Chains A and B, each alone.
Chain A
Amino acid sequence: KAGVTQTPRYLIKTRGQQVTLSCSPISGHRSVSWYQQTPGQGLQFLFEYFSETQRNKGNFPGRFSGRQFSNSRSEMNVSTLELGDSALYLCASRPGSNTGELFFGEGSRLTVL
């Protein structure tokens, strides 16, 4: 069974641009969560989607948004990029929204110049 796939793995953007990251969950998993990881703040929860609906949301500004498609694939978008948005963005999937174990992808490393 293929694992969680995130694209792109690495990308470089400049301040003010926007970026879209993609996540394909494990087949059959309907829940997708997004996390931001930085050396200073550690792992921070962005949001979770289940069956195309946002179930939980972390404490991030509205510049961070996401969506989930009917095939459970998810995208997250960050608009008006800031230097502080440089981070490793991790996607994780699980079968349902009430099963604890998360399966993580390898992440998308975003650098904002």
Chain B
Amino acid sequence: AQSVTQLDSHVSVSEGTPVLLRCNYSSSYSPSLFWYVQHPNKGLQLLLKYTSAATLVKGINGFEAEFKKSETSFHLTKPSAHMSDAAEYFCVVSYNTDKLIFGTGTRLQVFP
């Protein structure tokens, strides 16, 4: 079955340190992959997307993600966390651009 797994439900980092949020997808034909961010009581906002162009994708607010087919991964990274990055992050996969499959989310805490 097609699926997406976010390996950590919670991640805590100190401000100014790197962020790594992990995402794996089930192997199938070429997926489209997305990362969304949700701040409290808000809707989801697209951070970045991969659609079979460059494997390293740069998004908003300094985030980037690398598509690794051999590892079926699409991890989200940021070199230096900011307090405003505290939010929930969703990895999303689509195999036929029709149906989107959402991960269970990773809550990022940033400590001063």
Chain A interface residues toward B at CB < 8 A: 4, 42-43, 45, 55-56, 88, 90, 92, 97-107, 109
Contact = CB atoms under 8 A, between A and B. Distances in A.
A98 B46 CA distance: 17
Contacts of B43: 4, 90, 92, 104-107
A8 B72 CA distance: 40
B46 to A, nearest CB: 6
A100 B100 contact: yes
Interface residues of B, number: 21
Contacts, number: 49
B2 to A, nearest CB: 13
Interface of B: 32, 34, 36, 41-46, 49, 51, 90, 94, 96-100, 102, 104-105
Given A106-B42, A109-B41, A56 B49 contact: no
A100 B51 contact: yes
Given A43-B105, A107-B42, 8 more contacts: A43-B102, A99-B97, A100-B32, A100-B34, A100-B49, A100-B100, A101-B49, A104-B36
